[in-house]
């Protein structure tokens, strides 16, 4: 892609996983509510390409989005316990501002960070915990209706609907990625649900790279690694985007340690060893969610 890519929420966990994986591959514009320290900014991103703004600030968003070819929209309140006034302002109103500005500016591709919480209601007492185990055949594939498990999930379902609208009205390519449980170096420890929806940092970067490179109309896909235990299908991400994940929570013990026969090469070579994205908070603009280690998408 020759045009710049705008990344909102660039300082958060997902943004940092993306930048540490494919930071050298694109001409980035980075937007966050707080100034980004140099350690979180790829080489080559100038001060002029860093925007400190709230995503509900229409003028600032339009300035940041001018002449970009694609948007990866991550910004918002990431807490699954976030109250309604916060998810309404930051996740729904903010997403509407960014999507509308992108559509009206003629942006070609828009990748929206949705969440597993948009479908958390499918995890009923009757289905769990078998749902999280390799032998269970139940799968969500992205064609099902949202079934939020909390108000945060409601906001993500609203974002998916906004994406459908702006695709239909403006022919903007929109992909909604229902992100699972993002952790670095190993899947969540001793957490069956988290291991079923694990998304490694390198697979996260690769998935959003495919969102920028592939040709699609409107898609809802699941953002998890190629886990043996999973209840989300990644087939649509493979077919529509060319997603080819490298990691599998089945290569680790329940305690999160690599199994002896696993190739433990650091990061699989997709991004530099020593780039410690674990230093990044879930989002720099909100209080830490006490459940963030197990649910940070």
Measured N-to-C along each axis, helices 94-104 and 58-65 cross at an angle, to the nearest 10 degrees, of: 40
| Closest C-alpha to 78, from 224, 280, 291, 282 | 282
Selecting among 26, 132, 152, 191, the annotated active-site residue is: 152
DSSP states of 114-152 as a string? EEGGGGGGG--TTTTTGGGSTT----B-S-SPP--SSHH
Q: Is 143 annotated as a binding residue?
A: no
Q: Is 80 annotated as a binding residue?
A: no
Dihedral sign computed on CA atoms, order 254, 178, 80, 77: positive
Clarify whether 138 is annotated catalytic.
Answer: no
Q: Is 166 annotated as a binding residue?
A: no
Beta bridge partners of 71: 6, 110
Q: Is 138 annotated as a binding residue?
A: no
Cα separations in angstroms, 124 against 119, 241, 277: 11, 30, 33
Cβ proximity of 192 and 132 under 8 Å: yes
Judged on CB neighbours under 10 Å (0-12, 13-18, 19+), 117 is: buried
- 3-class DSSP state for residue 186? coil
Residues of the binding site for NAD(+): 90, 115, 152, 156
List active site positions: 152
């Amino acid at each position: 892609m020759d045009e710049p890519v705008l990344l909102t929420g660039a300082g958060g966990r997902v943004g940092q996983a993306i930048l540490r994986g494919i930071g050298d591959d694109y001409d980035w514009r980075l937007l966050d509510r707080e100034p980004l320290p140099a350690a979180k900014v790829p080489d080559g991103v100038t001060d002029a390409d860093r925007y400190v703004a709230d995503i509900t600030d229409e003028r600032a968003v339009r300035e940041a989005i001018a002449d970009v070819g694609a948007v990866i929209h991550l910004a918002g309140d990431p807490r699954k316990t976030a109250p309604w006034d916060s998810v309404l302002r930051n996740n729904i109103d903010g997403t509407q501002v960014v999507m509308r500005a992108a559509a009206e500016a003629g942006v070609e591709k828009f990748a929206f960070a949705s969440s597993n919480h948009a479908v958390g209601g499918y995890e009923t007492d009757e289905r769990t915990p078998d749902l999280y185990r390799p032998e269970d055949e139940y799968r969500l594939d992205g064609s099902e209706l949202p079934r939020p498990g909390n108000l945060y999930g409601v906001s993500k379902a609203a974002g998916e609907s906004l994406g459908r609208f702006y695709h239909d009205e403006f022919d903007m390519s929109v992909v909604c990625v229902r992100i699972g449980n993002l952790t670095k170096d190993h899947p969540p420890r001793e957490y069956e649900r988290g291991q079923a929806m694990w998304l490694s940092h390198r697979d996260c970067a690769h998935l959003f790279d495919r969102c920028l490179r592939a040709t699609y109309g409107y898609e809802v896909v699941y953002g998890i690694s190629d886990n043996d235990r999973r209840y989300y299908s990644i087939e649509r991400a493979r077919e529509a985007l060319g997603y080819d994940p490298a990691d599998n929570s089945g290569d680790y013990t329940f305690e999160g340690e690599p199994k002896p026969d696993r190739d433990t090469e650091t990061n699989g070579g997709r991004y530099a060893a020593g780039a410690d994205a674990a230093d990044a908070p879930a989002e720099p603009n909100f209080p830490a969610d006490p459940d963030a280690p197990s649910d940070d998408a």
